[in-house]
Amino acid sequence: VLALDRISVGFRPGEVHAVIGENGAGKSTLMNILAGDLQPDGGEIRIDGSPATIASPLASRAAGITVVYQELALCPTLTIAENIMMSDMAARSSLSFVPRDQMRREARAALTRLGMGALDPDTRVSRLSVAEMQLVEIAGAIRQRARVLVLDEPNSALSKRESERLFEIVRQLRGEGVTVIYVSHHLKEVLDLADRVTVMRDGRTIETMDNDGLSEDRLIRAMVGRDLDTAAQWSLQAEARSDDAPIVLSVEKLTAPGLDRLSFHARAGEILGIGGLPDSGKDMLGEALFGLCQRSGRVTVDGKELRAADPQASIRSGMALVPADRRGAGALLSMSVANNVVSASLPRFSLAGFMRRGAVRREARAQVARLDARISHLGQKLATLSGGNQQKIILGRSLVTNPRVLVLHEPTRGVDVGAKAEIYAILRG
């Protein structure tokens, strides 16, 4: 399978160059090559007109390239300051050679530039929200003063205000002559921010366009090779439900980390949207409902109260959770696609202690087709898929359980426009 097929693209100094495409188009592979994590089988990379070999992440950084991935690469047991200064570790062999006061000072300056000066640099990363982690990673990248900054879905977990601050920084960097490669599925942002746009599809570069009179519809046609119903594309509005529909999920005075006596209910066949700023508590709601943290209050499904801190009881009651942090909490990266799909429903696919491989393959094949996930084969490790296709497989895993209550936290994070329409159609269905 060719992840990239003889692609050609050039990036200029002092420009924001967006790279877009469906999940599996090859964007992540291209970024991994620029980062030195993967080696190309052929072709040539030139920097300032001269051939360059990017044989490792160290070589990439030495060439002035810094990559911020959609999937966070922070060390949760280290502090914010230690993570931001991590790039110095290779050069100095140990963080212990960086004076603590200097670490805090430089980390605070980087955070302040992103409007996050209130964060304590001595806070352990494990105590941060996903949005705060993303900003810490971006702060570390900006601090390195790269010549080429690659941002892969950098604001997928950020609020509107945080995103606007990030865009201000991107424009500042462009003005300083930095090349910013911006990978995103958010086409409105691409049109607002980018000077040029390269569209990838099936491992190839389809075209590179100046951002002069471009529209979202024009970009979508180039990405997917067809027109989409843009009126329905972003819609998650279900058919009107009667107030007489039975209440399936009832939450009364739910109290957990970040939540204080929260009460609400959801009826059968209803899509209930819950929004808020990153520090509003919404990031902890899914974990609290599913029993992944200590809580008080009452959570009932079909009138049966769920025990606190007992995910198995939640699963037995018919609840399923798709977390926002798919790599940290949702994905079994070293396992195959097929095993990931059935991992939440193992009793259904086992007999006398042995897995029914045929049944596993049939179910996995059905979910892959249902969600149009792009894979090479069912035995492919989840870690080798693009972020959007990983998200589809994790959603498929929850759908296999035939849940009564499906809790989704940022379910379309890092997912392309075509896949968003498909996921919304499944949720509406």
pLDDT tens across 342-400, in order? 999 999 999 988 999 999 999 999 999 988 888 999 999 998 888 778 888 999 999 99
Cα separation, 59 vs 37, whole angstroms: 10
Domain assignment of residue 270, yes or no: yes
Cα separation, 387 vs 397, whole angstroms: 15
- Phi-psi label, residue 329: left if phi above 0, alpha if psi -120 to 50, beta otherwise: alpha
184 in Cβ contact with 25 (< 8 Å): no
Taking the chain, what is the end-to-end CA distance rounded to the nearest angstrom? 33
Question: What are the tokens at 345?
Answer: 């429903």
Residue 232 has pLDDT above 60, yes or no: no
The mean of the pLDDT values for the chain is 88
183 in Cβ contact with 18 (< 8 Å): yes
Residue 34 has pLDDT above 90, yes or no: yes
Domain assignment of residue 179, yes or no: yes
Residue 334 has pLDDT above 50, yes or no: yes
Rounded to two decimals, what is the model's pTM? 0.68
pLDDT tens across 147-157, in order? 999 999 888 77
Domain assignment of residue 75, yes or no: yes
Q: At 26, give phi and psi (nearest 5°).
A: 115, 5
Cα separation, 269 vs 246, whole angstroms: 9
How many structural domains comprise the chain? 2
Domain end among 161, 195, 227: 227
For residues 252 and 221, state if they share a domain. Answer: no
For residues 141 and 261, state if they share a domain. Answer: no
Domain assignment of residue 72, yes or no: yes
For residues 259 and 399, state if they share a domain. Answer: yes
pLDDT tens across 47-87, in order? 999 999 999 998 998 899 999 887 778 899 999 999 998 86
Domain assignment of residue 4, yes or no: no
For residues 269 and 397, state if they share a domain. Answer: yes
Domain that holds residue 327: 247-428
For residues 185 and 280, state if they share a domain. Answer: no
For residues 259 and 398, state if they share a domain. Answer: yes
* Residues facing 265 on adjacent strands: 250
Domain assignment of residue 237, yes or no: no
Looking at residue 90, its pLDDT comes to 52
Looking at residue 380, its pLDDT comes to 96
Residue 272 has pLDDT above 50, yes or no: yes
For residues 51 and 153, state if they share a domain. Answer: yes
Domain assignment of residue 10, yes or no: no
**CATH no. for residue 139?**
3.40.50.300
Domain assignment of residue 209, yes or no: yes
For residues 303 and 388, state if they share a domain. Answer: yes
